[in-house]
């Protein structure tokens, strides 16, 4: 089993490195992303192909800072593309084993533009969310959020993004919210709309994720 795991890790690193091939300007194909997803493993929880494809386009279409809630394959793929266009990437991770695994990959791939932040789940009174060190986000304006965390069993789920980080999000900021087919995520969108003006599109087959644009 260890031999298989090492082989998959080598293939994954090689696949991500190809995304940074000199002179390459086009986003990864669906087949490339599918291969990376298979080598990454964790099929029940890792991001879907449609979500990853949309993420890749969004990295090239915007110019500000990127905030990722949770970490995974999207961190490697998006972080590689963000490095090409000079965009800072901050990934919040509360789970120790996931954080250690990700640090190994980031070091092996030379993705020093990705800031992987130790962010335990803490109470904000009416909800729980990541505890974010102020110095990490104080110097960048965020115009893209990859929202695939915190875990579903967190009190309030992913709701905390808007009240905790809304002041750091630029007008026009895009939020890619995964698992938008779930009732909990639909409820979170409704609660966000009570706080700010949003434009929402449900995308994917089935409606697996949402692109949300912050109007005000």
What are phi and psi for residue 118, nearest 5 degrees? -70, 110
First-last CA distance in the chain: 51
Number of domains in the chain: 1
Quick check: bond before 150 cis, omega within 30? yes
pTM for the full predicted model: 0.90
Across all residues in the chain, what is the average pLDDT? 87
Average pLDDT (16-22) is: 71
Per-residue pLDDT at 2 exceeds 60: no
pLDDT-based confidence at 8, cuts 50/70/90? confident
Residue 152 pLDDT: 85
**75 vs 25: which has the higher pLDDT:** 75
The residue range of the domain holding 184 is 47-214
- CATH code, 93: 3.40.50.150
Report d(CA 195, CA 191) in Å as an integer.
7
Residue 5 lies in a domain: no
pLDDT digits (tens, 9 = 90+) for 118-155: 999 999 999 999 998 877 777 778 999 999 999 889 99
pLDDT exceeds cutoff 90 at 41: no
The residues, ordered by sequence, that sit 6+ positions from 207 with a Cβ below 8 Å of its Cβ are: 180, 181
User: Is residue 35 in a domain?
Assistant: no
* pLDDT tens, residue by residue, 77-107: 999 889 888 899 999 999 999 999 899 989 9
Residue 15 maps to a domain: no
Domain-located, residue 16: no
Residue 180's alpha-carbon distances to 2, 86, 147, 177, in angstroms, are 35, 29, 10, 6
pLDDT score of 205 more than 80 = no
- Tell me whether residue 125 is in a domain: yes
Specify the length of the chain in residues: 216
| Alpha carbons 150 and 139: distance in angstroms, whole number | 23
Query: Are 69 and 148 a contacting pair, CB within 8 Å?
Result: yes
Lowest mean pLDDT among 24-33, 149-158, 201-210: 24-33
pLDDT reported for residue 112: 87
């Amino acid at each position: 089993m260890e031999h298989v795991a090492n082989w998959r890790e080598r293939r994954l690193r090689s696949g991500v490195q190809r995304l940074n091939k000199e002179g390459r300007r086009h986003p990864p194909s669906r087949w490339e992303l599918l291969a990376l997803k298979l080598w990454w493993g964790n099929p029940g929880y890792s991001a879907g192909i449609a979500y990853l494809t949309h993420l890749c386009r969004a990295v090239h279409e915007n110019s500000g800072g990127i905030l990722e809630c949770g970490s995974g394959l999207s961190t490697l793929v998006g972080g590689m593309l963000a490095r090409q266009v000079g965009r800072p990437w901050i990934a919040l991770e509360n789970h120790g084993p996931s954080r250690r695994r990700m640090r190994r990959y980031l070091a092996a791939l030379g993705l020093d533009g990705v800031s992987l932040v130790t962010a335990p789940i803490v109470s904000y009174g009416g909800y729980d969310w990541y505890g974010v060190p102020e110095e990490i986000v104080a110097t960048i304006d965020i115009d893209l959020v990859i929202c695939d965390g915190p875990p579903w069993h967190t009190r309030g789920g992913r709701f905390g993004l808007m009240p905790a980080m809304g002041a750091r999000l630029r007008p026009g900021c895009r939020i890619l919210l995964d698992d938008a087919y779930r009732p909990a995520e639909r409820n979170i969108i409704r609660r966000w709309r009570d706080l700010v003006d949003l434009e929402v599109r449900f995308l994917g087959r089935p409606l697996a994720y949402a692109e949300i644009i912050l109007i005000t």
